Every structure is written in C-alpha cells, then in structure tokens.
Amino acid sequence: MATSEIMRIYTFPEPVLKTVADSVANINGQLQKFIDRMGETMYAAPGIGLAANQVGELKRILVYDLTSRSEGRNLSVLVNPEIVHGEGEIVYDEACLSVIDFSAEVTRQAQIKVRGYDRHGKPVEIEAEGLFAVCLQHEIDHLNGKLFIDHISSLKRGLYKRKLQKILKKGKDSEMRL
C-alpha cells in the first residue's frame, strides 16, 4: 500500500456519523485509492476498524485489521456489507475512533454471518465470532448511522455527553490562551 494522505476522522456529535451511508454501485480506481487512504488512516489512528462515515464519506465501505501489530498488516475491506444472520450474545468493552475518551460495555450478537463484496467486487460471505463479530457489527452500525453509544443506557450516554462538553470547553479555553 502506497503512503497516502491521512484523512480526518469525524467525531461525535458530527452529523455525518448519524447518517446512513449509500450503497456503492461502482468499484473503480478512484474507490481503490479511497480504500487505501481509509486503511492508512485506520492504521495511523491506530484502530482495528474504520467505516467510510467516520472520514466523512457516505459510502457503504469499511476496512478492518485484527492482526496483531507484531504480525504486520492484513487490511480487509467490505463493500456494501450486510449482516444476514446472527445468534448468541457477547458483551465487549468497546471504544471508537469517533467517540473520544470513552469506552463502555456493549451487548452484541456473538456469532454473525456477513455478506458483501471485497475491494475488487467479488462477493464474500464471512462468518465471525468474538472480537471479529464485534468489530464487524460496530463498523456496520457506523454505515447505518449508529454509534456504539447508541447501544448503552441513556444515563451513561448523558454522562458521556457532559464529559465531552467539558473536554471540548477545556480545549477551547486552552486555544484561547495560545
């Protein structure tokens, strides 16, 4: 993968994160470059998954890599992914590149089956469980305009929103002193 420009990752409460992404109709060279930039952005963050909404593009594309850093990189791409089956339950402490300074336990399906296309337009079907299932559900949620904080109680979500307001206010106060 060639070195490319790192994209801005949008953060809550920016509206693009609450917007449903559009299906991709044409996988072309321009889209390949966009996918490479998404991968570089995810690795630079660093994260294990990134959805196009998070970089301001309303396209049904996600990238992920659950390979340990010591094993190198293995970027995977899903275009127009959809969960076609799920069962069981898993609780996982999730965080997100778009939800700054916060993590929470989220209940999701333990095993899922996802259909979509790879970066070359070839149909793929993936069966995932554990962290892999959590990652795919988390990123597909982004494409559907949902964040992991939408899965937690309104009380915890409210606490996070207040915490975020303090963080943002503190950031503006320190900018004013510069």
Q: Taking the CA of residue 159 as centre, how many other CA atoms within 13 Å lie in the half-sphere pointing to its CB? A: 8
* Helix, strand, coil percent values for the chain (each to nearest 5): 40, 30, 30
Q: Which of 5, 105, 139, 175 is catalytic?
A: 139
| Residue 164 CB partners (closer than 8 Å, separation 6+) | 12, 13, 100, 101, 102
H helices then E strands: how many in the chain? 3, 7
Distance of CA 128 to the CA centre of its chain: 16
Q: Tokens at residue 73, please?
A: 């990189």
Q: Is 139 noted as a catalytic residue in this protein?
A: yes
Region for residue 88 given its phi and psi (left: phi exceeds 0; alpha: psi -120 to 50; beta: otherwise): left
Cβ–Cβ under 8 Å, residues 98 and 12: yes
Q: Which residues are catalytic?
A: 139
